[in-house]
Amino acid sequence: MSSEKKSLVRFVIIYIVSTIILLGIGEWFYYKLAKESLIKEHRVMLISKVDKFLENKVKQKGLANLKLLKNMAIYKNGYLIASNFTPPKLDFSKEINIKDNKIYYIKKLIRPFGIVYIVTFECFHNNLLNRLIIFNVFALIFIVFIAFILGKVFLAPMKKNIEDLENFITDSTHEMNTPISVIMSNIEILEIKGIVNKEFDRIKNASKRVSKIFEDLKFIRLNHNTKKEIIDINLKQFLLERIKYFEIEPKMELEDISIKIDKEDLTRLIDNLLSNAKKYSNKFIEIKLNREFLSIRNDGKIENIKNIADKYVRENKNEGGFGIGLYIVNKICKNYGFDFNIKNNNGVEVKIRF
């Protein structure tokens, strides 16, 4: 995933989560207040119903009117003495009980013969939760849409900068091709003629470094358009040639094996591994090759091990470079189905399983 897409995804996630949290807090307060208001409305109706019952009871001097009113029950000293429904277990210390989507109102009366409780109820039609759920579904769709639009708007400048950078790299790669080829060709001619001294070695090493950077940039920008020529390559012999090219003297345990791969891809793979091993080691480099894996280890250490293979990530900014070496290695490994792993193991160990 590109940095632009990662930034867009992060923005959308942060926006959606923060908006949902704020919306949820507001809905919680709304639900609480609306529920209390609904309970108060039911309470007023139930009080009126009980008052009507008591008024009729006085007029009729008995409990005959109990049959005329729905959902009424009378308790005396905690015992049910009359009812036209089956009441659940209630908490008589509370005026309002809510059970099984029903709201129960309890009227307490103190009489000479004891305490009387008159209980009645109505169905508690609380559709607030269902309405909030429906609202949240539509709100979430709207929030995601707005987040995506805002993300596109806010990240547009970054997208343009990335595109400008990529275009600059592409144009620079194209312009560098001819002069670098001329420099490397003339260095080979001078070597053949025997014109070698300290200054020449410096020019040669600097040219190798520029050539490697150029080839890495070319790989990133143009590799997907190049035609691959998959051939059998003796990996041991190839390693020895590149080790000689980088002028390093590692400890080696190399088996004679071959793999099927494009030569240019293998060059980029091995050159980046050897270049990093040389650049970040103090004195020790160890290379192991067998039919299962290639391992290159040095005596350095990587602090940012998690993201070290990402594009433009450098462990030590003082060493220069673009931070694309291990990104290229990882990309090539994925293309050929190799398993790429890097870890701190008595130094830094890069292991590629075939």
pTM of the model: 0.53
The CA-based diameter of the chain, rounded to the nearest angstrom, is: 132
Q: Is 194 helix (H, G, I), strand (E, B) or coil?
A: coil
Query: So what's the pLDDT on residue 64?
Result: 47
CA distance 201 to 149: 56
Q: What is the pLDDT of residues 37-74, one digit of tens each?
A: 888 888 898 898 888 888 776 555 555 455 556 788 88
Q: Can you spell out the DSSP letters for 261-302?
A: EEHHHHHHHHHHHHHHHHHH-SS-EEEEE-SSEEEEEES---
Q: What is the pLDDT of residues 102-156, one digit of tens each?
A: 899 999 999 888 899 999 998 876 677 777 788 888 888 888 888 888 777 777 7
Query: So what's the pLDDT on residue 294?
Result: 94
**Residue 192, CB-side half-sphere exposure with 13 Å CA sphere:** 6
47, 51, 70, 48: which is closest to 59 by C-alpha?
Answer: 51
Domains of the chain: 3-126 (3.30.450), 227-353 (3.30.565.10)
DSSP for residue 227: P
Query: So what's the pLDDT on residue 286?
Result: 93
CA distance 296 to 352: 9
**Residue 6, CB-side half-sphere exposure with 13 Å CA sphere:** 5
Burial of 164 (0-12, 13-18, 19+ CB in 10 A): exposed
CA distance 327 to 308: 8
Query: So what's the pLDDT on residue 54?
Result: 80
Q: What is the mean pLDDT of each run of 10 residues along the chain (354 residues)?
A: 68 83 86 86 88 70 55 88 87 90 90 89 77 83 83 75 72 74 83 81 81 77 71 94 88 93 90 86 88 90 75 62 79 91 84 90
